[in-house]
Amino acid sequence: MAQQLFNAQVHPARYGPLRQPTFPNLERTSTLSFSKVSTIQAGTEGAPECRLALFRSPVYPVWADLALPNGVITSGAVQVAFQTAWILPNDPGERTTVPDVRFGIPLYAGFQPYVPTTPVVGQYHGNLYTYVPWGMKWSCYLVLSAANTTIAGDWEAEFEVVGFRKDQSPTSTLVLPCIAGTNNVVTFTSGTIFGGWIRLLALTRAATTTTTNMRCTSMDYTWAPLMNAGGVPIANTAATAVLLPWMEPPEFTTSTLPYSDTRAIASALRITNVSKVLSKEGTVLATRVPISRADPWSDGFQSASVRQAHPRDRYYGALEKGLYAFSIGDGSTGEFRQCAQTSTVGSHPVFQLDGVEYFGAIICTDPNPSTATVADSTVLALEASMGIEFRNSSQLFDVGESKFTIEDMHRSQQLLFKRGCFHAASTPPQLSQAQFGPVRPKGGNRKQTKDRTKPGPKSKQTPNGKPKKGDKPAKPETPPAPAKK
């Protein structure tokens, strides 16, 4: 049993998703498996590294540095629509908090090429946060219900930023004054490089203007590497790579049911170097680190936890051989979580930040990436596979119960940890039954009367009792002669 769980977590695409045991409640669940294949470039001019992150998550299990082409305004926009209009403060010093946007759904407002087609939203302690890639400047636009001329400093916005490392507070507050704006848009811009998960907390009226009783219908987040004083993105002249989800939730627009109450039971990633033979160069560094020591969404890949990991916890080899990585479950990945938000505004996937404890950090380095004049880039083929298990009451999906016990799950986790999460692409681990020890006898753990592992004497009888072909029939035993008187 432990062997099946081991192979299903290492090779989700080959052995399919297996239902994990639940304790103390026993329940029937449904399972699905997904996969994705694509190619990316390992490194660009001025940035020879390509970062990848592997999570055991039902949504966004694989993140990667996605390079944007030259001359493109590398910006993204996420629109947050409120179900009820937000009344802004009127009097100086008045402060109003943002309406509960837990069900006010962030909508897709438009991204440049190569950026996910849905907004990247995470949930932390019950609140929704918007993801801004590290290395970007960002702006927040409040869309008002009527035309308004805003004077710089009229309002001050309080933003909350999530911190995961131990040297950071769980949440920190950032206060930004608004800049001058016209029409029905009020703009707040960071002005500095940023990255991570943010949300707007409240708005404070700092000065008195002629405008009163203003309402906010929605707000937009925009990020770009370069912005002018008004928070407007500027065309970038150099290629920029940012960490974004590489694998989106499959078939999410078709049905949100598999993501409503779900957990990830396996996730794996195979990296194959498909460059020209003479262009295959570089190294790959991979390790499994806790998120409390290296925040992957900020500058976590530059920390010593990744660069100087213990030799027993890291893999370092030639990029020519590729890499095979899989995730190991932690204390929170076995919980069923809400990974989809649905309301009258729309639906979108939610990355559960509460359930992240470890992630697989992978850094692929190309010492000689392509330039404007020399095309010598390293091309990597990515093949990701994952399995999810979800609670289901619909007849469209088959349901069943797990045949494994908690002991089987624990045994397989021990073997996964001992084998390590990272291997060369051509030699992923796979265990046979002999490596799991002798099979338990039927009826439980009763004492065995004989050693079942040693082979017994070869029998010349077939199962039906007849002698095998080529064997001479045994001579009948003659009775002993009677003793002479």
Q: What pLDDT, in 10s, does the model give residues 26-71?
A: 888 999 999 999 988 887 656 788 899 999 999 999 999 876 555 4
More confident residue, 105 or 464: 464
Q: List pLDDT tens digits, range 129-187.
A: 888 888 777 788 777 776 666 666 778 888 888 877 766 667 778 888 887 666 677 78
Confidence of residue 118 (pLDDT cuts 50, 70, 90): low
Confidence of residue 439 (pLDDT cuts 50, 70, 90): very low
Give the range among 204-213, 224-233, 257-266, 467-476 with minimum mean pLDDT: 467-476
Assess whether pLDDT exceeds 50 at residue 416: yes
User: Using H for helix, E for strand and C for coil, what is the string for the chain?
Assistant: CHHHHHHHHHCHHHHCCCCCCCCCCCCCEEEEEEEEEEEEECCECCECEEEEEECCCCCCCEEEEEEECCCCCCCEEEEEEEEEEEECCCCCCCEEECCCCCCCCEEEEEECCCCCCCCCEEEECCEEEEEEEEEEEEEEEEEECCCCCECCCCEEEEEEEECCCCCCCCEEEEEEECECECCCEEEEECCCCEEEEEEEEEEEECCCCCCCCCEEEEEEEEEECCECCCCCECCCCCCEEEEEECCCCCCCCCCCHHHCCEEEEEEEEEEEECCCHHHCCCEEEEEEEECCCCCCCCCHHHCHHHHCCCHHHEEEEEHHHCEEEECCCCCCCCCCECCEEECCCCEEECEECCCCCEEEEEEEECCCCCCCCCCCCCEEEEEEEEEEEEECCCCCCCCECCCCCHHHHHHHHHHHHHHCCEECCCCCCCCCHHHHCCCCCCCCCCCCCCCCCCCCCCCCECCCCCECCCCCCCCCCCCCCCCCC
Tell me the percentage of the chain whose pLDDT exceeds 70: 69
Give the range among 13-17, 72-76, 347-351 with minimum mean pLDDT: 72-76
Assess whether pLDDT exceeds 90 at residue 360: yes
Confidence of residue 325 (pLDDT cuts 50, 70, 90): very high
User: How much is the mean pLDDT over the chain?
Assistant: 76
More confident residue, 203 or 102: 203
Q: List pLDDT tens digits, range 190-199.
A: 777 777 888 8
Give pLDDT, residue 63: 93
Give the mean pLDDT of 347-371.
84
Assess whether pLDDT exceeds 50 at residue 481: yes
Instruction: Name the range with the highest mean pLDDT among 215-229, 287-301, 457-471.
Output: 287-301
Which pTM does this prediction carry? 0.80
Give the range among 1-10, 81-90, 108-117, 435-444 with minimum mean pLDDT: 108-117
Confidence of residue 469 (pLDDT cuts 50, 70, 90): low
Assess whether pLDDT exceeds 50 at residue 117: no
Q: List pLDDT tens digits, range 262-305.
A: 999 999 999 999 988 877 888 999 999 988 888 888 777 877 88
Assess whether pLDDT exceeds 70 at residue 102: no
Confidence of residue 78 (pLDDT cuts 50, 70, 90): low
Give the range among 237-251, 266-280, 347-361, 443-457 with minimum mean pLDDT: 443-457
Tell me the percentage of the chain whose pLDDT exceeds 90: 14
Query: Which domains are assigned to the chain?
Result: 2-65+244-436 (2.60.120.20), 76-237 (2.60.120)
More confident residue, 383 or 279: 383
Confidence of residue 104 (pLDDT cuts 50, 70, 90): very low
Give the range among 359-368, 394-403, 473-482 with minimum mean pLDDT: 473-482
Give the range among 1-5, 255-259, 284-288, 448-452 with minimum mean pLDDT: 448-452
Assess whether pLDDT exceeds 90 at residue 315: yes
Give pLDDT, residue 343: 60
Give the mean pLDDT of 305-324.
89
Give the mean pLDDT of 372-378.
63
